[in-house]
Amino acid sequence: MKLICSFVALSSIRQIVKEDKALIYEDWKESILPLLDSLPSNIDPKFFSVEQYFAAKSLIASRSFEIDDYHGFGMVPLADLFNHKTGAEDVHFTSTSSHSESDDDSDNSDTVDLDADNIGNKEPSSELDCSSVTGDDPLVLEMIMVKDVKAGVEVFNTYGLLGNAALLHRYGFTEPDNSFGIVNIDLELVQEWSSSLFSSRFSRARVSLWRRLEYRGCDSQSAEYFEISSNGEPQIELLILLYIILLPEDTYRKLDLAVSAANNYKGSIDTILFEKWNITWDKISEMRADLLLTESVCNALLWLADKRESLYGSSSIKDDIEALEKCCTKERKLYHSLVLRASERRILEKLRTYAAVGARSHSSLKSIQREPKRKRSKRS
């Protein structure tokens, strides 16, 4: 079990799991612990321990899914018979009531109240005549086949387009060929890289300017991070932050003044790129990632990839893949932890490739910029 915990602890869900455990413990302490003193003598208190509470809450959470915008997440009888398949659902569950409409519409519409008088006076529609299943309650779920399925083939539902970290955290399993995986790079890791090159004061000033430009990373319960997509492409906000940290002092001051004068105008960073590369404004949005990939930024990405992978310990990705191949799928916790580790390390490999290709492309772009423009000779 310690080995399994270490695998999960080194993945992108390490901090989330720790935070969830703390929240669940506080929930148990507030709601369950006060009841233990009043239990009858014939009931064993160990059935209400924090471990049992954690197991029960995890069990319910792992089998619930998002029904619609109105109902949110819930458990539905029979619906959990279907296994999940990312991006390949055969059936979809949705509410047949009008509650899935927007809040503005529901404020002014004749929505259904869940009191006994309302339900008793409402005539069931022809679609809801199966009283043996739904009774008089008009709030039922509808199962829709979204594509044809051949007889004898397994029918799949989906929890959504989720990567392996989210699947393991929420539902306790992973998919070996999941194309929606991500790796998180914590802002703290970026600050550690910056502090290895510059003073703390320098780093704080550059991050502050990035925030004044109204850029942010993603937020979890207590941390800010950046996502690396399954193809190794970093979040644009991370590239912009690295670019700002590495700006020459005179360019940084110019950008700082431009932001102050423009009242947090994001176009200030575009101005810097426009002046440096002398490109037209209509092309700057689609080229921005390429323009940000200077040699220094790409080296920073390589540093972050190496530092992020160092969290997995001394073993290599080859070691993880070999361990995964030897692992029996019946050892579910170990197997899915290894799948997550291997998938995250593959993404980090792709990030290194992205940085290497980006550096070469940037060098080519600089070479093209330095070439003198040749005048076309007139045809006689």
Determine the pLDDT at residue 217: 94
Q: Give the residue from 61, 86, 113 where a domain finishes.
A: 61
Q: Are residues 109 and 216 in the same domain?
A: no
> Residue 235: its pLDDT value, please?
95
- Locate 222 and state its tokens: 């207590």
Looking at per-residue pLDDT, the higher value among 73 and 199 belongs to 199
Residue 88 lies inside a defined structural domain of this protein = yes
Say if residue 273 is in the same domain as residue 362: yes
- pLDDT band for 13, please (50, 70, 90 cuts): low
Q: Which of 30, 61, 92 is the endpoint of a domain?
A: 61
Domain total in the chain: 3
On whether both 312 and 326 belong to a single domain, the answer is yes
Residues 201 and 264 in one domain: yes
Cα 49 from Cα 36, distance rounded (Å): 9
The predicted-structure confidence for 270-313, as pLDDT tens digits, reads as follows 666 666 655 544 444 444 678 889 999 999 999 999 999 998 88
Type of residue numbered 312: Y
Q: State percent of the chain over pLDDT 70.
A: 72
Q: Indicate whether 184 pLDDT > 70.
A: yes
**Residues 107, 39 share a domain:** no
In a domain, 247, yes or no: yes
- My answer on whether 14 and 79 are in the same domain is no
Lowest mean pLDDT among 72-86, 89-103, 295-309: 89-103
Could you tell me if 44 and 57 lie in one domain?
A: yes
- Return d(Cα 221, Cα 207) in angstroms, integer: 21
- pLDDT for the residue 81: 78
In a domain, 355, yes or no: yes
**Domain-embedded: residue 294:** yes
Residue ranges with strand state E in the chain: 65-68, 72-74, 83-84, 91-95, 141-145, 156-157, 183-186, 218-219, 224-228
Q: Which residue has the higher pLDDT, 183 or 169?
A: 183
Asked if residue 352 and residue 208 are part of one domain, the reply reads yes
Give the DSSP H/E element, type plus range, for residue 10: none
Residues 236 and 306 in one domain: yes
Mean pLDDT calculated for residue range 132-154: 73
Residues 103 and 219 in one domain: no
* Domain coverage including residue 5: 1-61
Residue 208 sits in a domain of what CATH number? 3.90.1420
Q: Report how many helices (DSSP H) and strands (DSSP E) the chain contains, helices first.
A: 16, 9
Q: Which residues contact 140 (CB under 8 A, 6 or more apart)?
A: 95, 96, 97, 128, 133, 134
Q: What is the mean pLDDT of residues 234-250?
A: 94
- Highest mean pLDDT pick, 132-141, 185-194, 289-298, 312-321: 185-194
Say yes or no: 42 and 137 in one domain: no
Whether residues 57 and 68 fall in one domain: no
Mean pLDDT for the stretch of residues 218-247: 92
